[in-house]
Amino acid sequence: MKILAVCQSGLGSSFMVQMNVQQILKDENVDVDANDITVDHSDVGSATADSADYFFVESTLADALGSIPKDRIVLLKSLIDKKETAEHVNYVLDNENIAHD
């Protein structure tokens, strides 16, 4: 399962989200290797439906991901609110039947 954090330039904010998601997976004691979970970041222009299973993006950029199915896009109001990101990560984990705390 691959999570891709996406932002307009692929430079700053997407990497922030990637770091948060990775930290949350750790906090939730998710076995990343056994479940083959990868987390990466990219700019919005390079992201295609094949790039990942789930796309985390700041909510005002939602329209830029038009070609990607809505049920695979996670919209974030804040990129630095760990609680908000954690709720979304847990939703994805439950959706994929991956064990977590």
Partner 1 sequence: MLNDLLNQETVQLTDATDLSWEAAIRLAAQPLVANGSVTEQYVNSMIDVVNNQGPYINIGDHIALAHTRPENGSNRISLALLKTNHDIALVNQDHPITLWFVLSAVDSDSHLEVIKQLMTLLTNEATVKQLMAASSAEDLLTIIHSRNE
Q: Which is nearer to partner 1, 79 or 98 (CB)?
A: 79
Among 82, 86, 90, 100, contact with partner 1 (rule: CB under 8 A)? 82
DSSP string, the chain: -EEEEEESSSSSHHHHHHHHHHHHHHHTT--TTTTT-EEEEEETTT--TTS-SEEEEEGGGGGGGTTS-GGGEEEES-SS-HHHHHHHHHHHHHHTT----
Among 49, 78, 95, 99, contact with partner 1 (rule: CB under 8 A)? 78
Asked if 11 is part of the footprint of partner 1 (rule: CB under 8 A), the reply reads yes
Window 32-71: contact mask with partner 1 (x via CB under 8 A): --------------------------x-xx--x-------
